[in-house]
């Protein structure tokens, strides 16, 4: 994952005027051609004066370590530059960034989640337009157009290719007598949980945080309705019955040992991979994105494998998302833009930096980086396998309305009520529809 519609008001503080909201370009094929416009070596004008930059990102320990190593390598080659890493988990990152942007104290280089980009850039020039400012060789132009260009400006660069998969502990599943079907669906999840409940009562199938539960709820409804759960025109793409069914399924997952009790989920909500039950094989699998695979592998000695996300047979929309792992942007308010841009070139194109980063942000976004990692045998075969699975199963593209932080916050708040039996699925469905309808009206008004 993943992901306040107080955003327009926060961002407006950065600009004297408000520009019209723009949509993302909607090109179809991400595989056919490579970025040529402004491609080749682009060297920002960097002098030798002492410079300090700040670079913020979220992630697990493996991503932190690799990114810090790249920063150290750059600083060794540029003794006049100091780059301060500001890293954390995903929870709370967005709210902090909004505060920093509105107060004009945001870092120079900023990792952002792709669904945020339209919101962040809709009312002011928050980020540097990277067209002609950085080396775009090796990037797929269609992928950039789809996910990084807003209002004709290249707002950020993708860190890697990412998508939804199921990551599972192959050793632990085998010991429990469970053979995971490559064509995983919701009924099979329940069947595996029931089998696990009998074979190993202290174990549960899925390791989850609230973000994952929100994603399960969305995917379940998308697959059953055949359309996005929130539409681009600010309306709901589901009925009360659809929502009731989805909440009932979450409860069924808990009863069947697919999910842990909610009181056991919340302590590890920000970093589910750190749950000791994952390390000792009492939690067997995780519904997440390819870029998280290395993080999960680092927390267990057991062998892992990947299969598709649960998909309802015959659905017209799988709800499986393929998109950038993250994006990296340069703060338009930075006083050291040239050095920040030079670091971006280094981050994406220096061979040693590429090898240090490996696949901690998913499959690299440039063709040259992918070729190098394969040649050096530095790409986890499971990561490559996961991307191929996502390509084969991907559904419709998320719209920025459904991925806004406030929509996510409303959803997880109600999921907690259901999980702790504070609301019935029927009550939760009513509240979800009412609150989302109100929030969508606010979003539409702000646009």
Residue 371 lies in a domain: no
Would you tell me the crossing angle of helices 240-255 and 210-225 to the nearest 10 degrees?
130
Q: Are residues 296 and 332 in the same domain?
A: no
**In a shared domain, residues 154 and 240:** no
What's the pLDDT tens digit per position in 238-253?
999 999 999 999 999 9
**pLDDT beyond 60 at 18:** no
Same domain for 79 and 154:
yes
Residue 299 and residue 337 in one domain = no
Distance separating alpha carbons of residues 107 and 335, to the nearest angstrom: 11
Sign of the dihedral through C-alpha 61, 65, 70, 72: positive
* 107: Cβ contacts below 8 Å, ≥ 6 apart: 53, 54, 55, 56, 86, 100, 331
| Residue 29 domain-assigned (yes or no) | no
Which residues on neighbouring strands pair with residue 167, listed in sequence order?
286, 306
- Rounded to whole angstroms, the Cα distance separating 442 from 99 reads 20
In degrees rounded to 5, what are phi and psi of residue 53? -115, 155
Within a domain: residue 138?
yes
Q: Are 76 and 118 in the same domain?
A: yes
Q: Please give the tally of structural domains in the chain.
A: 2
Q: Can you name the residues that pair with 328 across neighbouring β-strands?
A: 111, 157
> Residue 62 sits in which domain range?
7-17+44-159+325-365
In a domain, 380, yes or no: no
Which DSSP string corresponds to 49-83?
S-EEEEEEEE--HHHHHHHHHHHHHHHHH-TTEEE
SS3 (DSSP) at 281 = coil
Helices 337-349/61-77 angle, 10° precision = 110
Same domain, 198 and 280: yes
Q: What is the pLDDT of residues 294-347, one digit of tens each?
A: 889 999 999 999 999 999 999 999 999 999 999 999 999 999 999 999 999 999
pLDDT exceeding 70 applies to what percent of the chain? 89
- Considering the domain architecture, whether residues 191 and 117 belong to the same structural domain is answered as no
Q: Is 170 exposed, middle or buried (0-12, 13-18, 19+ CB in 10 A)?
A: middle
pLDDT at 47: 67
Do 11 and 140 fall into the same domain?
A: yes
pLDDT at 37: 44
List, for residues 315-326, the tens digit of each pLDDT value: 999 999 999 999
Same-domain status, 202 and 313: yes
- 286: part of which helix (H) or strand (E)? strand 283-289
Residue 374 belongs to a domain: no
Whole-number Å distance between alpha carbons of 93 and 101: 12
CATH number reported for the structural domain that contains residue 193 in this entry: 3.40.190.10
- 30 vs 161: CA distance, rounded Å: 11
Residue 27 has pLDDT above 60, yes or no: no
pLDDT of residue 345: 98
Assess if residue 315 is contained within a domain.
Answer: yes
Between CA 131 and CA 154 the distance in angstroms is 6
Provide the 3-class DSSP secondary structure of residue 383.
helix
Tell me if 267 is assigned to some domain: yes
CA gyration radius, the chain = 22
**166: helix, strand or coil:** strand
Sequence-distant contacts of 300-305: CB under 8 A, at least 24 apart: 300/169, 302/169, 302/170, 302/171, 302/172, 303/169, 303/170, 303/171, 304/167, 304/168, 304/169, 304/170, 304/382, 305/167, 305/168, 305/170, 305/180, 305/382
Contact between 284 and 173 under an 8 Å Cβ cutoff? The reply is yes
Asked if the structure places residue 39 within a domain, the reply is no
Q: Taking the CB of residue 373, how many other CB atoms lie within 10 A of it?
A: 21
What's the pTM? 0.75
Given a cut of 80, whether residue 41 has pLDDT beyond it is: no
Cα(8)–Cα(311) distance, rounded to whole angstroms? 35
Helix (H) or strand (E) holding 330: strand 327-330
Whether residues 152 and 167 share a domain: the answer is no
The pLDDT value given to residue 443: 87
Helices of type H across 176-235:
186-199, 210-225
Q: Which residues contact 229 (CB under 8 A, 6 or more apart)?
A: 218, 221, 222, 236, 237, 238, 402
* pLDDT at residue 3 greater than cutoff 60: no
> Whats the size of the chain, residue-wise?
447
Query: Per-residue confidence at 29, pLDDT binned at 50, 70, 90?
Result: very low
User: pLDDT > 90: what percent of the chain?
Assistant: 75
298 and 340 both lie in a single domain: no
Q: What is the model's pLDDT at position 42?
A: 57
According to DSSP H, which parts of 78-176 are helical?
Answer: 93-102, 117-121, 141-147, 170-175
Tell me: pLDDT of 373 over 50: yes
My answer on whether 189 and 239 are in the same domain is yes
């Amino acid at each position: 994952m993943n992901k306040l519609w107080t955003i327009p008001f926060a961002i407006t503080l950065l600009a004297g005027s408000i520009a019209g909201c723009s949509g993302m370009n909607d090109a179809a094929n991400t595989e056919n051609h490579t970025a040529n416009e402004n491609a080749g070596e682009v060297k920002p004008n960097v002098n030798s004066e002492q410079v300090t930059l700040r670079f913020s990102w979220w992630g697990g320990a493996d991503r932190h370590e690799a990114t810090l190593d790249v920063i150290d390598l750059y600083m060794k080659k540029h003794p006049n530059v100091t780059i301060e890493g500001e890293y954390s988990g995903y929870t709370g990152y967005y709210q902090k960034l909004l505060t920093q942007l509105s107060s004009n104290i945001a870092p120079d280089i900023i990792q952002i989640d792709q669904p945020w980009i339209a919101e962040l850039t809709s009312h002011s020039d928050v980020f540097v337009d990277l067209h002609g400012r950085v080396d775009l060789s090796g990037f797929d132009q269609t992928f950039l157009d789809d996910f990084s260009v807003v209002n004709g400006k290249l707002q950020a660069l993708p860190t890697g290719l990412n998508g939804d998969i199921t990551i599972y502990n192959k050793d632990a599943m085998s010991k429990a007598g469970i053979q995971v079907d490559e064509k995983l669906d919701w009924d099979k999840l329940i069947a595996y949980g029931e089998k696990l409940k009998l074979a190993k009562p202290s174990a549960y199938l899925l390791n989850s945080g609230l973000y994952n539960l929100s994603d399960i709820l969305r995917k379940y409804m998308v697959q059953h309705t055949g359309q996005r759960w929130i539409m681009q025109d600010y309306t709901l793409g589901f009925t009360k019955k659809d929502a009731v069914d989805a909440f009932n399924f979450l409860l069924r997952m808990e009863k069947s040992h697919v999910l842990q009790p909610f009181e056991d989920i919340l302590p590890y909500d920000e970093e589910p991979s750190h749950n000791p039950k994952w390390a000792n094989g009492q939690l067997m699998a995780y519904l997440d994105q390819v870029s998280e695979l290395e993080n999960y592998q680092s927390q267990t000695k057991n062998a892992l494998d990947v299969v598709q996300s649960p998909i309802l047979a015959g659905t017209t929309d799988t709800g499986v998302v393929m998109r950038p792992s993250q994006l990296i942007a340069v703060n338009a308010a930075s006083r050291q833009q040239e050095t920040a841009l030079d670091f971006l070139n280094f981050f994406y194109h220096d061979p040693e930096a590429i090898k240090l980063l490996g696949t901690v942000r998913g499959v690299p976004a440039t063709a040259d980086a992918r070729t190098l990692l394969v040649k050096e045998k530095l790409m986890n075969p499971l990561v490559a396998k996961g991307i191929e699975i996502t390509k084969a199963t991907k559904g419709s593209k998320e719209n920025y309305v459904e991925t806004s932080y406030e929509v996510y916050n409303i959803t997880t708040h109600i999921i907690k009520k259901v999980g702790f039996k504070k609301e019935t699925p029927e009550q939760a469905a009513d509240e979800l529809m009412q609150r989302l309808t109100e929030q969508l009206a606010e979003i539409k008004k702000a646009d």
